Structure 1
């Protein structure tokens, strides 16, 4: 009876504000992703994509010098940046003694890359024909949006939760959002690709974090039982 009670209390302990927020965020992201997929592949609607494309084209007509900064910003979620960053970052964390955080960053990025490529292959949407920047691969969901949100979102979480720097969370997430916007500006992706990428990245990050937290809690409990 005591064991049952202790397990029940341990489960209740998981129902924190953090877990409730994560659950709500996952559901919202999940719904948004499949709504975007339905808009594109079921209703075949281009209304949102056309509106967003016309809007960013207007920005670039009004500010001709915008192209350079846009290309600069978009680099920070490209493969030439994220690949070394996803290796160097964890190495620095590992050397600083933050081994779990280092493993977390490696695993979350590896999983995001794999998931993004599987989704692209499944939906098989070609990229916009009028791309300003030469791009390869498929379009839905945007890899820059999904991987950018995963990388900077994970950094935001680590800084806030483990390093006592919650003030970095908002700038990092805004930066990830700005990167996604550059993909529309460059016509490398449709707006629906970018929104789906954000949703997929958020859902994956929440799912990964929740699974990791449960795994580490279970691992700790098992070690505790062995010691007892």
Structure 2
């Protein structure tokens, strides 16, 4: 009777062990890719069919009822740093910094995630061609299409990239808190200014998160991007 080959000690001994070893990646796949894609698909279907979402106009009108000079200035500033004044320059600076530090895989991840997100957003806007809200005259009008929100998608993309790059360091929770606050405020600014529907913002967040998480899972199949700091 032939001898039974010796088992490879590096191979998981059971399905449970394999799942435990990839629990983080599975969680990221579910919460970072599948759920956001489902949400985007649901919203996109409603927009494509020209259906009116019940919360879109109601929430915009409620926010407009809070308008005042101080809030106007605050949300205009947030809207500007949420894209042209803040997110775009930071995207470029982050990519160049990672290249300068010779963090090749991290740089590839950042460039693919950030540049790819921008291209996807432009393509989606041209495909859906949703008009901007016209419930009142905005103090910061826009002329491009509305769905999905470029500000929401761009801010979410940058925030998710930073969180994933910092996840295995001691900075992950502060970065996660800052990311949630920043993306939330940028999205709120677009609603307050009346240049996006809430569904535009939700779709932008969902698409940005799904793209970043998917890029991360492909580019970091084995190795972690940053080594954990020693205590």
Establish whether TM, by shorter chain, passes 0.5: yes
2:47/2:130 contact within 8 Å kept:
no
**Equivalent residue number for residue 22 of structure 2:** 16
- Larger mean CA deviation between 2-11 and 182-191 belongs to 2-11
Q: How many residues align?
A: 213
Segments of 5+ residues of structure 1 without an aligned counterpart are 218-228
**Equivalent residue number for residue 122 of structure 2:** 117
Matched, 1:180 2:187: yes
Q: Deviations over 1:183-221 (max 9, x none)?
A: 01111111110011111111111111111123x66xxxx
2:105/2:219 contact within 8 Å kept:
no
TM-score, normalization by structure 2? 0.81
Alpha-carbon separation, structure 1, partners of 2:50 and 2:100: 51
Matched, 1:165 2:171: yes
Task: Assess, with a 3 A threshold, how the Cα gap between structure 1 residues 4 and 56 changes in structure 2: closer, same or farther.
Answer: farther
Where do residues 1-228 of structure 1 align in structure 2 (5 Å cutoff)? 9=12, 12=18, 16-25=22-31, 26-42=33-49, 44-60=51-67, 63-129=68-134, 130-161=137-168, 163-166=169-172, 167-214=174-221
Task: Assess, with a 3 A threshold, how the Cα gap between structure 1 residues 210 and 70 changes in structure 2: closer, same or farther.
Answer: same
Larger Rg: 2
Higher helix proportion, which one?
Answer: 1
Alpha-carbon separation, structure 2, partners of 1:53 and 1:3: 66
Alpha-carbon separation, structure 2, partners of 1:7 and 1:180: 46
Alpha-carbon separation, structure 1, partners of 2:6 and 2:59: 57
SS at match of 2:195: coil
Q: CA deviation at 1:104?
A: 1.9
TM-score, normalization by structure 1? 0.82
Segments of 5+ residues of structure 2 without an aligned counterpart are 224-231
CA RMSD of aligned residues (A): 2.7
